[in-house]
Structure 1
Amino acid sequence: MKCLNCGAEINNNLKISEIFSLKEIIPNYICNLCRQQLAPLKNRHNCPRCFKPDSEGICSDCLIWEQKYGKTNCHQALFEYNQFIHSYFKLYKRYGDVLLAKLFYQDIKSWSLKNHFDVVTYVPASQSHFEKRGFDPVYELYADIFDLKKLLFKIDADKPQAQKNRLERMQTPQTFSALPEINNFQKNQRILILDDIYTTGRTLMYAHDIFLSYGFKNICTFSLSR
């Protein structure tokens, strides 16, 4: 198998115990050289609410959300946003290399097996972005791992989040509304909302708002990168 990012051969030597184990063998699509360029967030001093790396306690972003919502953040992420992640999303989203959706399959799948939710949904692309790319990048990132339910509709913002500075991100107006299918679920069910990158948390908190307004209380969020 070749690395989806650089094309190098991936050495997936399995131990005898792994071959005959009843546990699922999770395929790997990223080579060791590319993996060495990642900065995993596990076992670091992350913000306990949003996983912002190298935080001394609750980060400034979460304190802002606490003033607005109370103590609501329940977010996890896998990797710190660095140059490798930046380049990955540039190829995946800006240049539309949809095959790269599977690059982190092993990491996300492993996380999903340890964290269970009743309903898993995601931050959808707006219609114009979907038409421009030809695919929904957040959906494709997670579709082979979770039983995704489309429960949100997104209108176009004034400009893409990637083109905004920090203040502009925080001041972005609400762009989500709920689809009728949101009423198919019980209010006490555990909800997980997926996104690709958590920067300030503005996007996921607006998605969180929608579920709160419909009476859901147990809401968590997850992103590949923070």
Structure 2
Amino acid sequence: MKCLNCGNSINNSLSIKEIFLFKEIVPNYICNLCRKQLAPLIGRNNCPRCLKPDSDGVCTDCYMWEQKYGIINCHQALFEYNQFIHSYFKLYKRYGDVLLARLFFQDIKNWSLRNNFDVVTYIPASESHLQARGFDPVYELYADIFDLKPLLVKVDADKPQAQKNRIERLNTPQTFSALPEFSKIQKEQRILILDDIYTTGRTLMHAHDIFLKTGFENISTFSLSR
């Protein structure tokens, strides 16, 4: 098998232990050379609520979400946003290389096996972005791993989040509303909302707020990168 990012060969040979334990074999699509360019968040001095790297306790963003909006953040992510992640999303989202959706399949799948939720939904693309790209990047990133339930619809903001500075991101108005399927979810169920990148958290907090205002309490969020 070849790395989906650079084309180098990947050794997916099974160990004796893996063969005899009959565990689910999770395929790997990223080579060791590319993996060395990643900055995993696990085991670091992160914010306990959002995994912001190099944070001395709860970060200022999470305090803000609590004080202004009553949201106690519960976010997890796998990798710090660095140049490798930036280049990955540029190829995947801007240039539409949909095959790259599986590059981090093993990492996300292993996380999903350690974390259980009753309902898993995701941040949907707006209609204009969906038409421009031809696919929904967040959906494709997670569709082969989670049983995704589309519960939210997104309208276009004034301009894409990637083109905004920090203040503009934080001041982005609510862009989500609930689909009819939303009413079928039970309030006591554990909810997970997925996104690709967590920067200020504004997008996920808007989605979180839709659930919070309708009586849900057990709400978590997850992104590939933070």
What's the TM-score once normalised by structure 1's chain length? 0.99
> Aligned-pair distance for 1:71?
5.0
Query: What is the letter of the counterpart of residue 2 of structure 1?
Result: K
What is aligned with 1:61?
61
Structure 2 distance, partners of 1:157, 1:39, is 31
Q: 1:69 to 1:56 in 2, by over 3 A?
A: same
Question: What is the SS of the residue equivalent to 1:203?
Answer: helix
Structure 1 distance, partners of 2:178, 2:221, is 17
* Structure 1 consecutive aligned stretches of length 4 or more whose deviation exceeds 2 Å: none
What is aligned with 1:4?
4
Query: What is the letter of the counterpart of residue 79 of structure 1?
Result: F
Cα offsets for 1:118-165 (capped at 9, x unmatched): 000000000000000000000000000000000000000000000000
Structure 1 distance, partners of 2:83, 2:42, is 19
Q: Map 1:1-226 onto structure 2 (within 5 A).
A: 1-70=1-70, 72-226=72-226
Gaps spanning 5+ residues in structure 2: where? none
Give the alignment's Cα RMSD to 1 decimal: 0.7
What's the TM-score once normalised by structure 2's chain length? 0.99
Question: What is the SS of the residue equivalent to 1:211?
Answer: helix
Query: What is the letter of the counterpart of residue 7 of structure 2?
Result: G
Query: What is the letter of the counterpart of residue 214 of structure 2?
Result: Y
Structure 2 distance, partners of 1:3, 1:19, is 23
Deviates more, 1:59-68 or 1:169-178: 59-68
The total of aligned residue pairs comes to 226
Question: What is the SS of the residue equivalent to 1:111?
Answer: helix
> Aligned-pair distance for 1:20?
2.4
Structure 1 distance, partners of 2:77, 2:155, is 25
Query: What is the letter of the counterpart of residue 9 of structure 1?
Result: S
Query: What is the letter of the counterpart of residue 202 of structure 1?
Result: R
- Share of identical aligned residues, percent? 80
Structure 2 distance, partners of 1:214, 1:149, is 17
Structure 2 distance, partners of 1:66, 1:147, is 30
> Aligned-pair distance for 1:179?
0.3
> Aligned-pair distance for 1:30?
0.1
